[in-house]
Each structure stands twice: as structure tokens, then as C-alpha cells.
Amino acid sequence: MKPHAEVGQVWPENGRVLVLGSFHGLAAGERTWQVTLVLREPRGPELAYPVTVSGQAFEASVPIADLVPSEAPEKGVWDLYLSADGTRLRVGRHLDDIRDKTSIMVFPAQLIPLDGGFMHVRPRYTVNENLSIDYWYGT
């Protein structure tokens, strides 16, 4: 299995998405890690936030208010990575025995009031069991 950032818990609460997990297949070392969010479409926008690392464990927290870029104001998908000096690890959950996480490990959406409706922000697992964050405008 490729080195990756294995998810333990996801807490979509209080205007943030908090991800707890551990480095897998690679020593976190003394490097300064960030959590990087990459917008899928249109490709281009990226966001980065500091990550707390202790041994192999990491704690990444993302403020959801930042997740609606002007390039795609209605809806979009951010893919999560941990990165440090040229290394980029996808954040996902691959080490357990639950398949089809996208319909089994389901997280609640957080709602931001906007123009009479709501921006919904919700972390979820992809079909490849990586972690992404969806946002979409709706009622």
C-alpha cells in the first residue's frame, strides 16, 4: 500500500472539519506538515492549514467558511492531502475491513446561512475510500 494519511476520526463540528489520524507507510519525522485542500473542478484553487503532529499521529482542522471559492460558488469537491516539502499524502481510510464507506461511514453536513438558503459542507469518503469535502448551495 502506498504511504498515506490514515483517517481515524472525522468531526464536522463548530464551523470546522477536524480530522484525526496517523501517517502510514512513512515516518512523519521533523518536517512541518500542512493539510492541503485541492479543488477538483476547476483544477487550481488550493488551501493550506497547519497540522499538529505527535509521533505518527496527526490532527488537521479546516475552517469551513474558507471552502467556497469564487471559481465555483455553487458547488464543488475538495480533496484532502497532508503535505511537507514536496511530499504529498492523500488522506483516506484504507486499513480497516469496511468497504463501501461512502454509504456506511456517513458524516453530517454543516450549514452556513447564505442569501436566504444554506451552503452545505460535508466530509465524505470517495469510492476509493479517500477523504474529500463536498459543498453545495441549497435550501
Residues 6 or more apart whose CB falls under 8 angstroms from that of 106 comprise: 124
User: For the CA atoms of 99, 101, 102, 105, what is the dihedral angle to 10 degrees?
Assistant: 160
- Round to whole Å and give the CA distance between 110 and 95: 27
- Does position 55 bind another protein by CB under 8 A? no
Question: Of 37-45, 67-75, 79-87, 93-101, which segment contacts another protein by CB under 8 A?
Answer: 93-101
Total site size for another protein, rule CB under 8 A = 14
Contact in structure between 123 and 12 (CB atoms under 8 Å): yes
- Does position 70 bind another protein by CB under 8 A? no
Q: Of 72, 87, 79, nearest to 119 (Cα)?
A: 72
3-class DSSP state of 95: coil
Q: Which of 26, 72, 105, 112 binds another protein (CB under 8 A)?
A: 105
Question: Of 4-12, 30-38, 42-50, 81-89, which segment contacts another protein by CB under 8 A?
Answer: 4-12
Q: Which of 3, 29, 42, 108 binds another protein (CB under 8 A)?
A: 108
Grid coordinates representing 53 are: 503532529
Q: Which of 30, 70, 104, 116 binds another protein (CB under 8 A)?
A: 104
Point out which residues bind another protein (CB under 8 A). Answer: 8-11, 13, 97-98, 100, 103-108
